[in-house]
Structure 1
């Protein structure tokens, strides 16, 4: 709202470009057409004023649609024919949730707080809204798609939107006035469901955005279906995602060409691969992403099926899981000082039959003769190397099997710049 205040565009509700004589969400001809292959192809063209970092952010926001819906990718509501503009100011709008908010307008969605049944879920305090802005809160005739009101929608305004009295909310949820509203972290689970229902997307996609939870293959603990293609996007509110499998039984085949699970270190299939196509039985070591998002992909063919998998997720402050060769591992924030009160686990897994060779390029922790405060251990099977602390040279370490773990701990005082290590796989 603040960014668009000085705009000379004809903006409704602060960020919607109006076109005369057209309804918003009840206009079926305004939806983007579906292609023969069942996808909704939305071409786009970015202004030359955006830098590489902005373009990468746009790509990340759009990739999330591709992972969770049949949309294939800034704003009239819906498709107007020809080109349409989505105005995203470099100075104030470079956030994934804001980008997705505007893209949702282009796909045909209005703000959540003006949908036709909103009075059952929120109270609008017009006494704290200047009369000139009352129209922003006017209910619309909407197609609610048979889905409930979504306080967590990326399309919902925050509770103080357009207030004219400091500290007084304009939107109050009910019956619980303390329910959080107005997030801009990214699409909510219901946002995804609405897109897929509006465009009749035939996709198996799940968004898991709580602090912790469970995910399982379809029909678990019975056999999963044939010809399945599913994804789970895990997005914890903060920190890094940790994923732990408690059961794993996927049809085994050479190079896992039949059925497999694959895990990406980020929200889309463009993200780095943490765990490449994996099948068979036996538990997978715990997975820790570098951010608060992981994408889990599962695919099955038309032949024999297994029981599937069950995994739990939560968030951890730090750590990581490494399956790809020749990468670096650093303490949180390196080369800046790490934070106090950390406990981080980094697990490196080489292919079966190979070992991990670890070297340290830099090492500086809080100094103490007995390494009682900030400390690093390295584990391989039953062997423990360390403890290591202080400014010192740590010699190269070769694992005794195909897995090696680093455990880093800091106490509440006297942080330092930490460490940088590199590893390779060897026979």
Structure 2
């Protein structure tokens, strides 16, 4: 009964009929539908194990230092699910791997609009309910998976950091705020954890918070954007992970190599995952000095367009001195890898990052790219810039394969401008709008810039483009 009430009252159903339908689906598709729940989404095993402060409930560590959590995945999940797993893999020693013959594993199911899971490893098959519609945000996926890693959202020292407003909580919900004997691994309270309740959790009064931070009530709590830096630190400390990445999750910031501006250490590998709250990541280097070697086989920096080393490469191995052109990811995630060998070092690098609405900065031999949303209509009031940079001595060949924008005299509304250089002070090659057939443009130098602008009125599908580097006197790179 309490399980069913939680599902009904913890989701914004507009009528009871929808709730009843979901309860029916729950009873039809969840074999253990009589399992009670606590804290809104934590399933309690019939044997009574809730893995609160339980060392035996941790998943075992492999000889290579990784912690393997096998999983079965039902159909209907998008790429967002795998993207959410990759952040665990990049930042911690946790590895979610497809199950083969393992006895203990998690079974990820999509059913009934439910987001719920057990705490830690309970033995055998354990269900994780992630509805492929209502639970599909990165933060919600990671929240439920982190429960399985052995993380709770009710700390034993909670009252030192928040006030629970019991007057706005119904008696049948007050149990969701019970304090537990948790293992806090010596790290501070995290208002920004992906595990934290929102401020109005289980409130029975519109506009009234049930959780108020101390000493500043305006501190934001309860985000579902994704793992926080402290979420990462707590997982790594709980499982004693050796090497891990650093998460940078603010809208803007700075990243530097170790010891900068002093020399970085020998024989080290560092990774930084930048994840802005929205938009795309723009990375601009302020200083760059890394030991030079042929093909950068010794020390190097490498940058990926996504959360893992399996993501597309934005910048391949780079070393030496001089500034790297601006880089813009295609999503809100960018991964930086920095590697040094056992010999010579240098001062390393310093870069700043920020969130941008759209665009790109490419330092690669070739790539396809599109206006935002293509082939669906682009959004109104956009101003996007793409910068393409080739090595000195190369030129750039840009092809517009498909093009459709609002048409107007002098393209005064929506337009795409192409410049023969790195910025708007360069020669304007063309300013396009309307519908155009395929056409190729060749730069006179090693840089090209595109500026796409839309106004508030009509929107069309935009453009599909590609580019390749061209070394004069040789064929185009394939």
Residue 395 (structure 1) shift: 3.9
Residue 352 (structure 1) shift: 4.9
Aligned counterparts of 1:278 and 1:222: Cα–Cα separation in 2: 20
Kindly indicate whether the alpha-carbon contact (under 8 Å) linking 1:204 and 1:229 is maintained by their aligned counterparts in 2. no
Aligned counterparts of 1:92 and 1:22: Cα–Cα separation in 2: 28
Name the SS for the 2:236 alignment partner. helix
Q: What is the match of residue 89 of structure 1?
A: 131
Q: What is the match of residue 138 of structure 1?
A: 178
Answer with 220-229 or 177-186: which moved more: 177-186
Name the SS for the 1:63 alignment partner. helix
Residue 42 (structure 1) shift: 1.6
How big is each residue's C-alpha offset from its partner over 1:37-74, in whole Å with a ceiling of 9 and x where there is no partner? 22112222223xx2252xx3332111111100111125
1:198-217 equivalences in 2 (<5 Å): 198-217=238-257
Residue 89 (structure 1) shift: 2.3
Q: What is the match of residue 29 of structure 1?
A: 56
Q: What is the match of residue 40 of structure 1?
A: 67
Residue 384 (structure 1) shift: 2.9
Answer with 205-214 or 400-409: which moved more: 400-409
Answer with 349-358 or 232-241: which moved more: 349-358
Residue 325 (structure 1) shift: 4.2
Kindly indicate whether the alpha-carbon contact (under 8 Å) linking 2:93 and 2:244 is maintained by their aligned counterparts in 1. no
- Is structure 2 residue 465 aligned with structure 1 residue 421? yes
Aligned counterparts of 1:29 and 1:35: Cα–Cα separation in 2: 15
The alignment covers a number of residue pairs equal to: 421
Kindly indicate whether the alpha-carbon contact (under 8 Å) linking 1:334 and 1:417 is maintained by their aligned counterparts in 2. yes
Q: What is the match of residue 18 of structure 1?
A: 44
How big is each residue's C-alpha offset from its partner over 1:280-332, in whole Å with a ceiling of 9 and x where there is no partner? 11111101111111111111111111211111011111101234444322222
Kindly indicate whether the alpha-carbon contact (under 8 Å) linking 1:244 and 1:313 is maintained by their aligned counterparts in 2. yes
Please, which of 86, 110, 119 is the counterpart of residue 152 of structure 2?
110
Indicate the RMSD between aligned Cα atoms, in angstroms.
2.2
Aligned counterparts of 2:126 and 2:233: Cα–Cα separation in 1: 25
Q: What is the match of residue 338 of structure 1?
A: 378
Aligned counterparts of 1:83 and 1:301: Cα–Cα separation in 2: 43
Residue 420 (structure 1) shift: 2.1
Kindly indicate whether the alpha-carbon contact (under 8 Å) linking 1:357 and 1:425 is maintained by their aligned counterparts in 2. yes
Residue 93 (structure 1) shift: 1.6
- Structure 1: stretches of 5+ with no match in the other structure: none
Answer with 366-375 or 317-326: which moved more: 366-375
1:333-372 equivalences in 2 (<5 Å): 333-372=373-412
Answer with 211-220 or 57-66: which moved more: 57-66
Aligned counterparts of 1:37 and 1:336: Cα–Cα separation in 2: 46
Aligned counterparts of 2:379 and 2:135: Cα–Cα separation in 1: 29
Aligned counterparts of 2:346 and 2:375: Cα–Cα separation in 1: 45
TM-score (ref. length: structure 1): 0.92
Residue 131 (structure 1) shift: 1.4
Kindly indicate whether the alpha-carbon contact (under 8 Å) linking 2:92 and 2:241 is maintained by their aligned counterparts in 1. yes
Kindly indicate whether the alpha-carbon contact (under 8 Å) linking 2:50 and 2:118 is maintained by their aligned counterparts in 1. no
Residue 137 (structure 1) shift: 0.5
- Is structure 2 residue 431 aligned with structure 1 residue 387? yes
When residues 412 and 89 of structure 1 are mapped into structure 2, their CA distance, relative to the original with a 3 A threshold, is closer
Q: What is the match of residue 277 of structure 2?
A: 237
TM-score (ref. length: structure 2): 0.82
Aligned counterparts of 2:459 and 2:50: Cα–Cα separation in 1: 59
Kindly indicate whether the alpha-carbon contact (under 8 Å) linking 1:24 and 1:110 is maintained by their aligned counterparts in 2. no
When residues 370 and 21 of structure 1 are mapped into structure 2, their CA distance, relative to the original with a 3 A threshold, is closer
Residue 415 (structure 1) shift: 4.0
Aligned counterparts of 1:353 and 1:200: Cα–Cα separation in 2: 49
How big is each residue's C-alpha offset from its partner over 1:326-371, in whole Å with a ceiling of 9 and x where there is no partner? 4322222233333333221112234554322112122333434334
Q: What is the match of residue 67 of structure 1?
A: 90
Aligned counterparts of 1:260 and 1:43: Cα–Cα separation in 2: 34
Kindly indicate whether the alpha-carbon contact (under 8 Å) linking 1:159 and 1:170 is maintained by their aligned counterparts in 2. yes
Task: Return the structure number with greater relative CO, CA threshold 8 A, min gap 6.
Answer: 1
Aligned counterparts of 1:253 and 1:352: Cα–Cα separation in 2: 18
